[in-house]
Chains A and B, each alone.
Chain A
Amino acid sequence: MGATKTDERQETVATLGPFGECPLPIFEHPQIVLGHGSGGKLSAELIEKVFVSRFRNSTLEKMDDQAVLEIGGVRLAFTTDSFVVTPIFFPGGDIGSLAVNGTVNDLAMGGAKPLYLAAAFILEEGLPAADLARVVDSMARAAQSAGVQLVTGDTKVVNRGKGDKVFITTTGIGVVDRGTLLSADRARPGDKILLSGYIGDHGITILSQRENLEFESALESDCAALNGLVGTMLDAAAGTVEGFRVMRDPTRGGVATVLNEIASRSRVGMVLRENEIPVRDSVRGACEMLGLDPLYVANEGKLVAIVAPEIADRVLAAMQRHPLGAESCVIGEVVEQHAGMVLMKTSVGGTRVVDVLFGEQLPRIC
């Protein structure tokens, strides 16, 4: 058999032809795989093929984290999000605070003042009632702290094994009371890319709590409501809010995924500087050990803002004065070249592409 192989190889060398036909199966999943929920290319493909194609409308096509709708002369932001985190309690938060803050943040990223939430719970048979009470207490505190009211909801219970303790869906509504026009297609060459602090804290905290990963760290999730920070930023740009192009909270898929979405929708390029991107040593250490890249790790209390160069200094200074933005910095610029592609100047002086992940970020073997 060895000889056959060698012959084949030589033949390949000799007859290198066009690549019209694919020797391996084209890779399409007949079932939903975990990667479809990763925020990467598989998620994007699923959303486009299954959902957008069926519900197509001008608001949905913007593909922002919230819809901004004008109703009776008032601009409202409207969004929904489901939370399925394991474990449900983790350092720095729990599924309850996450569910409130996540939806508050999606509203805030549209320039809205978040007002009201709805919450739907899917509970697994056997969930300790005390755990549920703890989750709901946490939601109440988070809602109060973010200045929103939970005004309606729903509860369902599923058989043991058909859920995972508790799943929460929150839906939020807020009012866009300034002239902001935030959307992922508004980035322009020359704009600055602002980041509100250390990346990767949430994702690495969750990883460190999983049963099969035995590393300890003092890390905490950065889970927080960002509407206060956003308000401060918009105040600082008062009168020139059109300079605010895009705001996003880099949750699953991390900063890299969010920036790629913006670059692609705005048809611009981006250049980041690796040295300017703040990553805690503990997060870097864990990422090095596990073969992960912090640029793709989830955050739950950070935002990325693309702003016009004229207002960048003012906005950055305001962010740095806010407790949730003390480590804010400029991590790069929007450029005209290589539209749709995010590049990064590495710490040793090279340049590389920061791509969208295909599916889940997988640890490398060595």
Chain B
Amino acid sequence: MKYLDEYRDGPIAAKLVERIKRAQTKPWVIMEVCGGQTHSIVKNGIDQLLPKGVELVHGPGCPVCVTPLEMIDKAHAIARRPEVIFCSFGDMLRVPGSDGDLFSIKSQGGDVRVVYSPLDCLKIAQANPEKQVVFFAIGFETTAPANAMLAWQARQMGMKNVSLLVSHVLVPPAIEAVLSSPLNRVQGFLGPGHVCAVVGYTEYEPLAERFHVPIVVTGFEPLDILEGVLMVVEQLESGRAVVENQYSRVLARGGNHPARERIAKVFEVGDRKWRGVGMIPQSGLQLREEFRDLDAEHRFNVQAIDTMEPAVCIAGQILQGIKKPHDCPAFGTECTPQHPLGATMVSAEGACAAYYAYGRHLKDADLVTIGANGNGRN
């Protein structure tokens, strides 16, 4: 299939792996920031192709995982109201709050709907004028333009029955938090391709300089990731630390100007809690004063909900690249997608869930045999 197969080609992947092996002389720890990258790495088995000296650790970039428990409880409180149609991206539906998930709320009579585009909420609101339509606006910079557009259009159309429950987070403050941690092991980053497609990567340049870390803005297909790793390793080996763009077929340094403008008109930067990490100053987006009446937290009076995060699971350390899922004694035993103990097991993009779905055989001593068996026709 065009535009996909080119980036999943086995022989080219093998050549890139060979180049990484040749370039790497010292051990390096590289963090991929995005949940989408983590998913692709584990789904395609890319981490197994890399030489032992190149370790990939999984970053905080899974929007579902980092949405704090209290925000999920707020969402559930709103979704339970009889006058509300609660709209969400699909993978938010199974995230457990303090009492059940959106699927259970739906089974108890709540009107919970999956939308692919936030703008679908406008149609739903028009078709149901007697109902309040609430969109769970989560995500990084990637989803911000479409979420901003929902607020913008709702305002333009004068719709009184649309609001947004906003839990938007930003990548650069999270990278800064990772690098500032006394436990940090990360020496280079695969930067978030889709986030940078929206906002560009100028904000990453001061980070690369200040912490002397290479940041290579990288795509999501297997060959993108391998090339990104190669570019980071080459920088590390030569002592450079700059921002480079592996994903140039999609994005430019300045990002997408109309999208940035739309975000800036609707949202402003504010403090945000990250699940498993805690409060990071100036790390999220909130509705500007002019759009505050579209804020579902105010409209449904749920600001007071303040659930404490359970402090047992190591999700926080996994989100910061300090630990890997296999380091957790509960991984795959007490903690599974069916019974998640923490944020990173909850979403398909979470590092633990991705490891569970695709990579839990890696603990098996059988791995070598498996590779040999599977090699037959490739």
Residues of A within 8 A of B (CB): 1-2, 5-6, 8-9, 11-13, 16, 18-19, 21-27, 29-35, 41-42, 212-213, 271, 273, 275-276, 281, 284-285, 288, 290-291, 333, 335, 337-338, 341, 343-353, 355, 358-359, 362-366
Contact = CB atoms under 8 A, between A and B. Distances in A.
Contact of A33 (B4, B42, B44, B103): B103
Given A13-B183, A350-B44, A353-B361, A1 B279 contact: yes
Contact of A271 (B39, B222, B309, B373): B373
Interface stretch (B112-120, B153-161, B230-238, B248-256): B112-120
A191 to B, nearest CB: 13
Interface stretch (B92-100, B162-170, B210-218): B92-100
B334 interface: yes
Interface in B1-59: 1, 4, 8-10, 13-14, 35-36, 39, 42-49
B142 A362 contact: no
Q: Which 9 pairs from chain A and chain B are nearest by CB?
A: A350-B45, A23-B310, A5-B278, A345-B374, A2-B279, A19-B330, A363-B90, A352-B358, A362-B90
Given A25-B98, A41-B338, A276 B364 contact: no
B317 interface: yes
Name the residue among A5, A13, A350 with the largest chain B CB count within 10 angstroms: A350
B39 to A, nearest CB: 7
Interface in B120-169: 120, 123, 138-140, 142-143
Interface in B345-378: 347-349, 356-361, 364, 366-367, 369-371, 373-378
Contacts of B357: 353, 355
A34 B103 contact: yes
B338 A333 contact: no
Interface residues of B, number: 99
Contacts of B80: none
B71 interface: no
Contact of B10 (A23, A347, A359): A347
A284 B1 CA distance: 8
Given A5-B278, A348-B46, A365-B139, A19 B334 contact: yes
A366 B44 contact: no
Contacts of A284: 1, 4
Given A351-B45, A362-B93, A21 B142 contact: no
B279 A5 contact: yes
